Amino acid sequence: MATAGRVASVGSSLGSQQFLGSSQTMPAVEIYTWRSCPFCLRAKALLDSKGAAYTEYAIDGDHEALEAMGKRSAGRSSVPQIFIDGQHIGGCDDLHALDRNGGLDPLLRG
């Protein structure tokens, strides 16, 4: 089980997660990043501010992981690439636009 906040790991998707002491299920949030990418840091800061747990795939220099990300994101090769319950959200600007339009919170509530 994951609590709200950062869940930094590399590996397979965690699937839906549950808050400790709650029956509320959190959606699986995944983000592909490079460690020094300012857009990645900005996207993670927004997720952190929402209390969203996420799996981070830091793919610096990992060509196989970059290829896997590209397959999931319709060929996009820039980072970050963000997925919520398997739905491709896009990059940092897409995540922030979704938030501005009121669409992010409902996705994060599941």
Query: Would residue 1 count as lying in a domain?
Result: no
For residue 31, the model assigns a pLDDT of 98
Query: Would residue 97 count as lying in a domain?
Result: yes
Q: What's the domain count of the chain?
A: 1
Kindly report whether the global pTM for this prediction surpasses the value 0.85: no
Q: How many CA atoms lie less than 13 Å away from 16 in the CB half-sphere?
A: 10
pLDDT digit string, tens, across residues 60-76: 999 999 999 999 999 99
Alpha helices in the chain (DSSP H): 38-49, 63-72, 92-100, 104-109
Query: Would residue 29 count as lying in a domain?
Result: yes
Reply yes or no: is the peptide bond before residue 27 cis, omega within 30 of 0.
no
For residue 24, the model assigns a pLDDT of 60
Nearest-10 crossing angle of helices 38-49, 92-100: 30
- Tell me which residue range forms the domain holding 21: 6-109
For residue 49, the model assigns a pLDDT of 98
Query: Would residue 87 count as lying in a domain?
Result: yes
Domain of residue 49, CATH code: 3.40.30.10
- The segments of the chain whose pLDDT lies below 70 read 1-24
